[in-house]
Amino acid sequence: MSIVAIVIVVLLVLIVVFFIGGLIIARRRSEEHADRLEERIAAADRALEAARAADRGWDPILLEEAARSALERERPDFRYDRLHLVLVDDRPGTEQDRAEMAAVGEEGVLHVSVARHGDTWVAERVR
C-alpha cells in the first residue's frame, strides 16, 4: 500500500471519529438545553401564578404563613428549602379562593392546599 493510500485512510478514519464525536456532543448539549428550558418554563409558571395572586389582592405572605404552619403541625420532621406558589384558584367572591403551595426539600416535595376564610388563609390539606 502506498503512503498516499495510508494517509487517505487515516484522514477518513479521523473524519468519521470527529463526526461521531460531534454528534455525541451535540446530543448532550441538546439534552442539557431541554432540562434548562423545563426549569425556565416552571419558573415562569410560578412567576405567573404569583403575579395573578398579587393582582387579585392576595397576600403571598399570608399564603406562605398558612402553608408553613400546616407543615409544622402535620409534618414537623420535613425540612424544606423553598416554598413556591404553584396554583391559584380564584373563584367569584373570596370564600371559595384556594391556592396550592409546594414545599421543596431534599426528601422531595409536599403540596399544601390553602383556602381563604374571610381575610385569613387556612391550610386544608398537606400531601
97-127, pLDDT tens digit by residue?
888 999 998 888 999 999 988 878 999 999 9
Domain segments of the chain: what residues? 58-126
With a cut of 50, list the residues of the chain below it in pLDDT.
Answer: none
- pLDDT, residue 66, reads 96
- pLDDT, residue 74, reads 96
b/e for 49-72, b at 16 or more Cβ within 10 A? bbeebeeeebeeeebbebbbebbe
Rounded CA-CA distance 54/60 in Å is 7
- pLDDT, residue 57, reads 67
Architecture of domain 58-126: Roll (3.10)
List, as own/partner pairs, every contact residues 84-87 make where C-beta atoms lie below 8 angstroms and the sequence separation is at least 24, other chains included.
84/46, 85/46, 85/49, 85/50, 85/53, 85/60, 86/45, 86/46, 86/49, 86/111, 87/49
